[in-house]
Amino acid sequence: MKDIAKRVFNIEIESLKLVADAIDDSFTKVVEAILAAEGKVIVTGIGKSGIIGKKIAATLASTGTPSFFLHPGEAFHGDLGMVGSNDIVILITYSGETDEVLKLIPFFQWNNNTIISLTGNPESTVAKNSHFHLNTAIKQEACPLSLAPTSSTTAALVMGDALAVALMECRQFQHEDFARFHPGGSLGRKLLVRVKDLMRTDNLPFINEDASFTDVLLRMSEGRLGMVIVGDARHVHGIITDGDLRRALVRHPDTATLSVSEMMTKPPVSVDENEFIHQAEQLMIEKKITAVLVRSSNLAGLSGVYQIYNQ
């Protein structure tokens, strides 16, 4: 079974290399045409090509290129009304002779749509009736019967990804742009929300430098942040985490004489309150910490604490 899996991977990898080598100036012209378009990008295809088309349309839409998938059957029965004259149409059919796709071409031509085709046959009817053609020809399908679309659908999928990425880079599409199209997920939360929106500001566990070990332990338990802050909001001298406590006990078992200065970490890691969540959390992952102090942008001192697992 492992040999079969490796064979499939190798066949499809070789197919992708073949398609990559065939990329020419047509790809550049397609990207330029989409960038210049005033309308949407409409992707259509039937069967497995249709499934790939849905993914390509979704990827384009989420990365800054307005797009949707149009089912050829539904299009032929009224959904062509969704196609504007300024829209660009991408037709996906490996043979280039798929009947359901061919039937749509006269309308697109009448409607003055720019037609882009992804086929494995540059001499096909679909390719010849397109303004731009992207060649996705492969040497063989991974299917041992050469019947089920496998390598060919992978090639079309990756060609769609290449278009999406090229368009993203041309548009200088950034993290914040991506987040605006994904507000419901954790990624959108991290890329849109700033530290000040989620930081804790109430009952912060401050403690004085002359506090005893017992005071530190009690205040840490009350604060429920796994740490205490040495100083006050205006002057922070350091922090003591539960890890600092354990390490201090190993070095100095006599808690009666253990001082705050011997336990605390200084200077503490901090971020500006206007940092995006993903930036703060990346810093915390790099430092291997779960909480970070938040600096005020307008006022000197501390404005809160952000904890990576508080959501």
Residue pair 228/240 in contact by the 8 Å Cβ criterion: yes
Buried residues in 251-283 as b, exposed as e (16+ CB within 10 A): eeeeeeebebeebbbeebebbebebbbbbbbeb
Output the DSSP codes for 52-108: HHHHHHHHHHHTT--EEEE-HHHHTTTGGGG--TT-EEEEE-SSS--HHHHTTHHHH
Q: Mean of the pLDDT values across residues 42-56?
A: 96
Q: In what order do the strands lie in the sheet with 41-44?
A: 67-70, 41-44, 88-92, 114-119, 132-135
Looking at domain 195-307, its CATH architecture is Roll (3.10)
Say how far apart CA 199 and CA 294 lie, in whole Å.
8
Residue 306 has pLDDT above 50, yes or no: yes
Summarize pLDDT for 224-266 with one digit per residue, the tens: 888 888 988 888 888 888 888 888 888 877 777 788 888 888 8
Which H or E run contains 305?
strand 302-307
Q: What is the pTM of this model?
A: 0.65
CATH number (1.10.150.20, 3.40.50.10490, 3.40.50.300, 3.90.1300.10) of 2-173 reads: 3.40.50.10490
Give the residue extent of every domain in the chain: 2-173, 195-307
